Amino acid sequence: MIHIFYTYTSEENHNALLRKYLPVLPQSYREKILRFRNWKDAQLSLLGRLLLEHGIKTKFPQYADMLEIAYTQFRKPYFKDHDLKFNISHSKDMAICVLSDGADMGVDIEEIAPVNINDFKDYMTPYEWQEVVNSSKKEDAFYKYWTKKEAVIKADGRGLSIPLKSFEIKEEMTQIENNSYVLKEIFLDMNYACYVALKKNASQQNEPTFDEKVQLKEVCIAPEASMALV
């Protein structure tokens, strides 16, 4: 089971959110939040962490007091000494956290905003580029491919050290070296594109399907009350 939690930013509540939630977070994370100059960047980072905390407490409460976040050499966060997986993404006014006790995964969300898609041609394979330019809704097609690729490299764990053009996505699946990845579109908001990528283990390489169940919940993170599912 993959659990997805998402929420929206609120400029009106920003300072109150900081006052309420920063004191309960690790000092290193508090310092990270306070280094942001833009309120929205700070809040998106805070919301991602709070969604993770919420997800653990509501879906995996047995691990709530034993999980320690560490980082790989590629700066991907993970739980030290535990197989519980998570990934966080945010864009514009939305933050999203994906949590699972299954395979490695990655998530990416992007606001669908005006963009010169020609600036990104070199990041796509010829097949992917033709899929975008031949679409009747080119911007939508571009953002879908972009979030797919970002989700895959996050599931892989090496991030942008993997050139986006070095692998090709067809029919919601791709392969990087000896690893296969399958993708699933997540519908959160009509103004955003979002995909989750799931890494297949060795015994599943010949099963190119996204077979994990997905549970989707919006979370209200307010300064005057405890977090609650909407």
Domains in the chain with CATH codes: 1-102+212-230 (3.90.470.20), 104-208 (3.90.470.20)
Q: What is the pTM of this model?
A: 0.92
**pLDDT attached to residue 228:** 47
Structure-token pair, residue 75: 């700066």
> Helix, strand, or coil here: 47?
helix
C-alpha–C-alpha distance, residues 49 and 54, integer Å: 9
Give the list of residues 6+ apart from residue 219 with CB closer than 8 angstroms, or none: 5, 6, 7, 51, 54, 227, 228, 229, 230
Element (H, E) at 98: strand 94-100
Q: Give 42-84 pLDDT, tens digit per residue.
A: 999 999 999 999 999 999 998 887 788 888 999 889 888 888 9
What does the pLDDT read at residue 112? 97
Q: Give the residue carrying structure tokens 């996204």.
A: 210
Task: Compute the residue count for the chain.
Answer: 230
